[in-house]
Structure 1
Amino acid sequence: MARILLLSAHGAAEALPALGLLGHTLSVAPPQRAGEPMPTGADLAILDARLDLAEALRAAGLLARLHPELPTLGVFAEAGLAAVSAQWRLTGVVLDGAGPAELSARIRLALETPAAPLAAGPAAGHGAGTLSARGIVIDEASYAATASGRTLDLTYKEFELLRFLVANPGRVFTRDQLLHEVWGQDYFGGTRTVDVHIRRLRAKLGEHETLIGTVRNVGYRFNRAEDGDDPHHTDER
């Protein structure tokens, strides 16, 4: 039997009911403890990513960076699977409704799979896995963003949108392009969702809101210093 750490704010009975039927030694901790020493010398971590993808991705980044040898399974609701990518550094994924036989097999495979090494090499900005521009700093490993040192409380898509724009300063993207790049080609909603997310992102940026510029009848960009900041931006098409 394995020693399993479940990182969940809701407990095994809600996050993964089948887990309690398998007889493993189970410890439960909130996702915020992902960066702390693993209790009981865990053999495997299971991360509850059903409800808060942004928080779960931060926890996954911390686990991968601080405990690269620890295999980690992510528990997702079916709708959340669209957010899964190599960035999560997960050993495997499992749906929250998985039965005991399926879950047992996934745990067994995770324990037998060698941990993948973290990707090497710095990203753009001032450190590995970090993007920075004009006071905005994005830590891709921990899925955190700050504006002049102030932590931004972003949803998953707001973070992805900001990260994409900061990674491409000065370049104008149409709403369709942003939908494809941030929401994915399988997203069938209208382009108005881009405008909504831009407005919310600007509100959270506060005094930095004008860094996201509108090019009328075209789309949006992250303004470079030479582009200038227009305090009278508009979301009109």
Structure 2
Amino acid sequence: MQILVLTSDPDVRAVLPGLDLLPHPVRACRPSVQEFLSAGWCDVVLVDGRTQPFAACELSRGLVATARGIPVIGVIEELVASQIDEDCAVVQLVLASAGPAEIDARLRLAGRRRVVEPGPAAAAVLAVGPFVLDVHAWSVTVDGAPLALTHHEFELLKVLLLHAGRPLTRAQLVSECDGWTDGTGPRAVDCHIRAIRAKLGRHRGLVRTVRGHGYVLPRLPPGASEAGHPAGTT
């Protein structure tokens, strides 16, 4: 069973020590959706949530939205187990202190579930309102028309679509945008948002400013549009 661990810890063995006693091949990558998509085939994804369990839950939601039916298992510490809510998108959780027998059982159960989950056809496409974003093809259409975006603009819109309906701060957007390791600061988000809006035409109002917080893109069914703005947004 091929296992991919999403972690920022340079020592992948520290994430789930008991895994080192099992024969499964293990690879690691940074905790981001794009890194996962670029990492190649795996049977199970382990998301390191030992120090930031809620960020791990958000990442898991993005993985499920763009993944290829691959099960996601969260690795957490016992102290935060009771705080994980029903919105967490992982298949199951495992404590970082779990022994090899428990880990192996969870991996086998997760791998069995993979067979009945959606296949690759629905994998990397996000459809929210008039937007259709293909993560693998790095393309976005609006009302079926291609949208020409820079790398930063694409990453920013992708994050807003992944978290549609949830306001994100500028700092959160920067932290979740892949490839923003060139010193991009939170205030640069405003410039990229203006550029995106300028390219959206009549849909520019869907990328909304939440006063005193950041930005949000409303959660809309595929193909739908929405006029006007809710209170507290522009």
Distance 1:67 1:21, change over 3 A: same
Which residue in 1 is equivalent to 2:135?
A: none
Distance 1:45 1:27, change over 3 A: same
Contact 2:61 2:90 in 1 (8 A): no
Aligned residue pairs total 148
SS in 2 for 1:89: coil
In structure 1, what is the Cα distance between the partners aligned to 2:210 and 2:72?
Answer: 36
Tell me how far 1:30 sits from its aligned partner.
1.4
Tell me how far 1:126 sits from its aligned partner.
10
Tell me how far 1:12 sits from its aligned partner.
2.7
Identity of aligned pairs, percent?
24
Q: Are 1:208 and 2:212 counterparts?
A: yes
In structure 2, what is the Cα distance between the partners aligned to 1:89 and 1:206?
Answer: 26
1:120-169 CA distance string (max 9 Å, x none): xx99x999xxxxxxxxxx9695496336xx3458xxxxxxxxxxxxxxxx
Matches within 5 A, 1:16-31: 16-31=16-31
In structure 2, what is the Cα distance between the partners aligned to 1:141 and 1:82?
Answer: 26
Tell me how far 1:55 sits from its aligned partner.
2.5
Contact 2:5 2:46 in 1 (8 A): yes
Contact 2:33 2:62 in 1 (8 A): no
In structure 2, what is the Cα distance between the partners aligned to 1:63 and 1:152?
Answer: 17
Normalising to structure 2: TM-score of the pair?
A: 0.51
Contact 1:50 1:96 in 2 (8 A): yes
Matches within 5 A, 1:4-43: 4-10=3-9, 11-33=11-33, 36-43=36-43
Q: Are 1:145 and 2:167 counterparts?
A: yes
Contiguous gaps of at least 5 residues in structure 2:
132-158, 174-208, 214-229
In structure 2, what is the Cα distance between the partners aligned to 1:152 and 1:18?
Answer: 32
Amino acid at match of 1:54: F
Amino acid at match of 1:22: L
Distance 1:51 1:142, change over 3 A: farther
In structure 1, what is the Cα distance between the partners aligned to 2:40 and 2:211?
Answer: 45
Distance 1:101 1:38, change over 3 A: farther
Q: CA RMSD in A?
A: 3.8
Amino acid at match of 1:100: P
Contact 1:15 1:96 in 2 (8 A): yes
1:50-90 CA distance string (max 9 Å, x none): 10123312321221011050111110111222232332221
In structure 2, what is the Cα distance between the partners aligned to 1:86 and 1:35?
Answer: 25
Distance 1:85 1:140, change over 3 A: farther
In structure 2, what is the Cα distance between the partners aligned to 1:57 and 1:18?
Answer: 22
SS in 1 for 2:167: strand
Instruction: Tell which has more relative contact order, 1 or 2 (C-alpha 8 A, sep 6+).
Output: 2
Contiguous gaps of at least 5 residues in structure 1:
128-137, 154-204, 210-222, 226-237
In structure 2, what is the Cα distance between the partners aligned to 1:34 and 1:77?
Answer: 26
Tell me which structure has the larger Cα radius of gyration: 1
In structure 1, what is the Cα distance between the partners aligned to 2:172 and 2:167?
Answer: 6
Which residue in 2 is equivalent to 1:100?
A: 100
Amino acid at match of 1:108: R
SS in 2 for 1:31: coil
1:147-204 CA distance string (max 9 Å, x none): 6xx3458xxxxxxxxxxxxxxxxxxxxxxxxxxxxxxxxxxxxxxxxxxxxxxxxxxx
